Structures are given as structure tokens and as C-alpha cells.
Amino acid sequence: EAGVTQFPSHSVIEKGQTVTLRCDPISGHDNLYWYRRVMGKEIKFLLHFVKESKQDESGMPNNRFLAERTGGTYSTLKVQPAELEDSGVYFCASSYSTGISYEQYFGPGTRLTVT
Amino acid sequence: AQSVAQPEDQVNVAEGNPLTVKCTYSVSGNPYLFWYVQYPNRGLQFLLKYITGDNLVKGSYGFEAEFNKSQTSFHLKKPSALVSDSALYFCAVRDLSEAGSYQLTFGKGTKLSVIP
């Protein structure tokens, strides 16, 4: 089966611009997660969708970040306006179920550089 | 709140030698522990997990991990390292958030370099 895909793989934007990241989960996976790794630090949870609903968005840094998952398929994460500290690698993951034993499958990530 | 520590930023090991990548955790309640690996320009790949049962967990690519409750550790091991094992390794713990989400909390990662 196809894995989790993310687009673009790399984005370089200037401070104040807008960027939209896309994630396509594994087909049939209702759960979709966004994580972020700032250079040299831990991978941090951002939010979790169950189908099209936000289950938990406690990790979203501020209101400049907006995530959507219309129709419960792919998801987008928009950063508007981007700031320097938003630079990092944004990972998307999906899982079949919310059960604690179900592993999350990760995409290759989008490397965002804000200059 | 749960946390994970990977005390080594980098581990170097000679090819053919055993390797260990360390991980300690702090959780309230039962720990649900995972190891992921990230190869260059690739996403995180699931290696193995501990949910319950046998303390020695076997995973992909010949890796295994030993759960030690008294030492709150979950070290990743492999009897004989390969050059192709060179990658970034992440330990993670899974817990239920207040919003009802099973999210992962990761360590900072350990870069493993296997020297030919």
C-alpha cells in the first residue's frame, strides 16, 4: 500500500509570507496527526484529526497555524504569516485506529525554511 | 506530563559490533513505548513497540529493545551493527492527552554512525 505522502518536500519562504503544507494519509486511516521538529530539538505534537474533526489541537503554537481536513481525506496545514521560528520539519502521520497499540505511520516530512 | 530522554546525541560503533541506543522515560501509569528510525531524506519508520508482556521486544531489521520498569528505560539494541544502520533514532512514549488523543512524545533523537 502507498505510504503517507507530503508535499512539498521543501519550502523556502520569506517572513510574512504564507505557506500551505499538504499531507495525504494512508488510505483508510481515519486518524491523521501533524508533528513538527525544530532544528536539533524534539519532535513535537501539533494536532490530531479523526476523520474531518479535530480531536486535539493542543500542540498548535498559535493562531497563525490553521489545519484542515475537509472530507476526512488529505489535510493541509497553513502558516500565515510565517515567522522565522516556524522553520523546521513538519511531519504528518496516520493510523488506522485510535487504540493505544496502533503505531503511527509517518510521511517524509516537509522542511520549511523561513528567511 | 510524560517525557523521554535520549542521553546521547551521537553513538559511534564499528561494523559488526553490538550497538545500544539509550532511552529513559517518565510517565504516569503504564508506559507505551516506541522506537522509530529516520534514514536520510526519509520519513520516520516504525521499528518496534512495547505495550505489555515480554520485556524483550523484537522489531524490524534485527533490532530489539529491552523494557526495564525499575530503571524506566527502553534501550534499543542490535547484536551486530551494519553500515546501513546509520541513521537517526527516536524513542517515543504514547499517552492519552486531556483531549482524548493518543499522541507521541519523542526524545531528541540519537544519531547512530556505524563505521566500516
| Mean pLDDT of the B71-92 span | 96
Confidence of residue A1 (pLDDT cuts 50, 70, 90): low
Nearest CA in chain A to B3: A42
Q: Are A5 and A24 in contact (CB under 8 A)?
A: yes
Could you say which of A40, A42, A91 has the minimum Cβ distance to residue B107? A42
Has residue A97 got a pLDDT over 80?
Answer: no
| Mean pLDDT of the B19-41 span | 92
Could you say which of B43, B96, B107 has the minimum Cβ distance to residue A108? B43
Residues of chain A with pLDDT > 70, as a percent, come to 96
Mean pLDDT value across chain A? 93
Inter-chain touch A56–B90, beta carbons under 8 Å = no
Using a CB-CB cut-off of 8 Å, the residues of chain B touching A102 are 102
| Mean pLDDT of the B57-80 span | 96
Answer yes or no: CATH 2.60.40.10 is held by domain B3-115. yes
Using a CB-CB cut-off of 8 Å, the residues of chain A touching B108 are 40-42
The grid coordinates of residue A54 equal 479535530
The pLDDT, as a whole number, for residue B88 is 96
Cell 494519509 -> residue: A25
Domains of chain B, by residue range, sit at 3-115
Q: How far apart, in whole angstroms, are the C-alpha atoms of residue A88 and residue A64?
A: 15
Has residue A98 got a pLDDT over 80?
Answer: no
Confidence of residue B98 (pLDDT cuts 50, 70, 90): confident
Using a CB-CB cut-off of 8 Å, the residues of chain B touching A109 are 43
Using a CB-CB cut-off of 8 Å, the residues of chain B touching A40 are 108
The pLDDT, as a whole number, for residue B28 is 83
The grid coordinates of residue B77 equal 539494541
Chain A nearest C-alpha distance from B80 (Å): 26
Number of A:B CB contacts under 8 A? 72
| Mean pLDDT of the B44-73 span | 93
DSSP chain A: ----EEE-SEEEE-TT--EEEEEE--TT--EEEEEEE-TTS-EEEEEEEETTEEEE-TT--STTEEEE-GGGS-EEEEESS--GGG-EEEEEEEES--STTPPPEE---EEEEE-
Has residue A100 got a pLDDT over 80?
Answer: no
Tens digit of pLDDT for each residue in A40-89? 789 999 999 999 999 999 999 999 999 999 888 999 999 999 999 999 99
Cell 505522502 -> residue: A5
Confidence of residue B2 (pLDDT cuts 50, 70, 90): confident
What structural domains does chain A harbor?
5-114 (2.60.40.10)
Q: Where are the alpha helices (DSSP H) in B1-116?
A: none
